[in-house]
A = this chain, B = another copy of it.
Amino acid sequence: MYIRDISHYIPSQRVTNQYFADLNGLTNEWIVERTGISERRKAGAEENTATMALEAVKALEKQVDFPLQQVDLIVGASYTPYDTIVTLAHKTQHYLNATNAAVVYISSACSSFLNAMEIVEGYMAMGKSKNALVVLSEHNTAYHNEHDHKAGHLWGDGASALLVTKDKPTTPSLTVKEIFTRGAAHVGRGLEGVTLRPLHGGIEMPYGKDVFLNACSYMASATRDIIERNNYTLDDLSYLVPHQANHRITKNVAENLKLSPEKAISNVQYLGNTGCAGAAIGISEHWHEFKNEDKIVVTVFGGGYSYGAMLLVKE
């Protein structure tokens, strides 16, 4: 299957580190040293997970030469829901009037981008989908505790939308060579490393070090494994797009894999951790830089825990 096109939306309001300096006494230097994050975006008062998802869909609609109304599958993803019944996937179906689409909403936390892609892969394998929309959106600032000294400054809001097709598009696209996902709830502090209990306080990350260490380890090994299974070497890799949790994690994974730093796509410095949307936003931002034959690995690690990797080739 193929990623025919991708878009993203980020809200306009910027929250700089100065905000957290004033609020929590954390200095810009302290935050940058530990996370690489200088600023993040925050959804406006009238925005939510679903409105941001729709903005990404509208952006995709403008840029792609395909009537999105004809998609036959919509997979939405978020761990920061506005509505768990009328999900962002349903809002998307309604907006597009995509009357012939199966619609499902998922969460496997920050890994959901790849879980969503793998679900699409399954529908295409069954012959139940030819053109699918994946819509990822996180409204972290609705659920985070900005007074939390450990993690309050990490989170940003944003969304992304992808058109995925079974048939090869006539325009340049990314071929999906393999998707691999796994749960890792049995690993380390999987059950408590990052939590979001909507009725009990929102996002908490009491075991950041465990998350950090496992994210570094699992994203590196998942990348190495998918490259080797597809008979490439790490030297063949043009870009690595890791989950955008922390720039130190991204740098650690790149160093572990002996990739030159500029191959690791990163937006966490100016967007913060945008959850399951972060890596997809990264692909969207760099879409026009990818050259023919480029090999790109997306790798993710999320709370719960979950992880995975996807190998893409520009063709």
Contact = CB atoms under 8 A, between A and B. Distances in A.
B118 A102 contact: yes
A191 B119 contact: no
Interface in A104-161: 104-109, 112, 115, 118-119, 121-123, 125-126, 128, 142-143
Contact of A84 (B79, B90, B126): B79
A86 B186 contact: no
A85 B109 contact: yes
Centre residue among A82, A93, A181, A190 by max chain B CB count within 10 A: A93
Interface string A278-310: 000000000000000000000000111110000
A99 interface: yes
A304 B86 contact: yes
A86 B183 contact: no
Given A125-B122, A182-B103, A191 B86 contact: yes
Centre residue among A100, A104, A115 by max chain B CB count within 10 A: A104
Contacts of A143: 199
B122 A84 contact: no
Contacts of A67: none
Interface in A53-91: 74, 79-87, 89-91
A42 to B, nearest CB: 15
A185 B91 contact: yes
Q: Interface residues of A toward B: which range?
A: 35 or more
B93 A185 contact: yes
A183 B102 contact: yes
Contacts of A305: 90
Contact of A74 (B98, B183, B198): B183
A82 B198 CA distance: 7
A233 interface: no
Contacts of A82: 197, 199
A118 B79 CA distance: 21
Contacts of A93: 183, 185-186
Contact of A197 (B83, B98, B119, B195): B83
Contact of A105 (B86, B100, B106, B142): B106
A196 B126 CA distance: 32
A210 B86 CA distance: 15
Given A85-B304, A198-B81, A94 B181 contact: no
B122 A121 contact: yes
A194 interface: yes
- Give the 3 A-B CB pairs with smallest separation, nearest first: A122-B122, A103-B183, A198-B198
13 contacts: A82-B199, A83-B195, A85-B107, A85-B195, A94-B190, A94-B191, A98-B186, A103-B182, A104-B106, A106-B106, A122-B123, A122-B126, A125-B125
Interface of A: 74, 79-87, 89-91, 93-94, 97-109, 112, 115, 118-119, 121-123, 125-126, 128, 142-143, 181-183, 185-186, 190-192, 194-199, 203, 302-306
